[in-house]
Amino acid sequence: MIRAGLVGTVLLACLIYPGACFATSLKDLQIAVRIVGFLSKPPPVGSPLAVFFDSHSKDSRDDAQNIMALLSGDADSAKTPLMPILVDLHNLEEAQGARVGLIALSSEAGYPAILEFAKKNAVLMISTDPACVRAGICTAAVVSAPRVEVILSRRVSEISDVHFIEAFRMMVTEY
């Protein structure tokens, strides 16, 4: 009875605040950060890790803040040797120098700009939404539950000149 009540409350909260239910999780981020190490040419330590968000979307802004908090370096965080920076999709110049980008959820409006930026600057674009890869926008999508999955777009990988090592490609799903 109590459990049913809790589930109902969570569902109600999701209806009112959808962003609260679709935030990038710590485990998603840990996977996203780890796959960077399997690039054939990994970015130098300390180079920027751009967290892209759509400033016109509250859910996107919230998820970007959530990602930044999870990357903050606390004990429970997703540790990365890169330097996380927030980048508004409407001001992509701020991401100059970044070779890896994490796309906050609910940033679909900025997908065309993301793809253009990735092509121009050879940026690995990672999302936690597999639809982003299937749409040919992101290079990689990560899923942490119920099973860890990594999905790569060969087309985006080619056009943005971002390549993973052979052994890694054999262990993930490619489109």
Partner 1 sequence: MNGGRLFVLGALMLLPLAGGASAQQFDYGRYEALFGEPVTVSATGKPERISDTPVIMDVIGADDIARSGARDIPTLLRRLSGIDVAHSSSGTAETSIRGYQQPLGSRVMVLLNGRQVYFDGFGEDFWATLPVELEEIRQIEVIKGSQSALYGFNAVDGVINIVTFDPVDDKVNMARARIGNHSRRDLAASVTQSLGEGAGIRITAADDHAHDFGIINRTSDNMAFAKNPNRKSVSADAGFTLPEGGGRIDAEAAHTDVTMRWIALYPFFDTRIKTDSIKAGYTVETPAGQVNATAYYTAIDMPWVQSQTYGTFDITDRIAVAQVSDLFKWGADDSFRVGAEGRRSEMAAGGLTGGGSLTGNQTAGSLMWEHSFSPAVSAVNAVRYDYFQLERSGPSPLADPYSNSDYDRSIGGVSVNSALITKVSDLDSLRLSFARGLKLPSLSDFGQVQTYVRRYGGFTYYGSPYLDVASVYDYQFGWERKLPVIDATMNANVFHEMTMKHISSPYGMVNGVLSFTSGMATGSVANGLELSLNHKTRTGWNWGGNYTYERLHEHFDWGYRNAQPTNKLNAHLGYAWDVWESDLYATYVSPTKGIVITPGLRPKASIVTIKDYKILSPRVAWHANEFVTVEAVAENLWPYQDSAPQRMETSYYLSVKVTY
Minimum gap (Å) between residue 174 Cβ and partner 1: 4
Amino acid at 39: L
Write down the least CB distance from residue 166 to partner 1, Å.
Answer: 4
Nearest distance, CB of residue 24 and partner 1, angstroms: 17
Please give the helix or strand (H or E) that residue 31 lies within, else none.
helix 26-35
Output helix, strand, coil percentages for the chain, rounded to the nearest 5.
45, 20, 35
46 Ramachandran zone, left/alpha/beta (phi>0; psi -120 to 50): left
* Minimum gap (Å) between residue 165 Cβ and partner 1: 5
Nearer to partner 1, 5 or 146 (CB): 146
Quick one: 35 or 70, whose CB is closer to partner 1?
35
Largest CA distance in the chain: 55
For residue 89, the minimal CB distance to partner 1 (Å) is 28
Q: Which is nearer to partner 1, 87 or 126 (CB)?
A: 126
Residue closer to partner 1 (CB basis): 17 or 175? 175
- Sequence-ordered list of residues with C-beta below 8 angstroms from that of 101, at least 6 positions apart, any chain: 49, 50, 51, 52, 87, 95, 114, 117, 118, 123, 124, 125, 126
Q: Which is closer to partner 1, CB of 1 or CB of 171?
A: 171
Q: Which residues bind partner 1 (CB under 8 A)?
A: 31, 34-35, 37-38, 40-41, 146-150, 154, 165-171, 173-175
Q: Is 4 exposed, middle or buried (0-12, 13-18, 19+ CB in 10 A)?
A: exposed
The Cα 44–Cα 175 span in angstroms is: 28
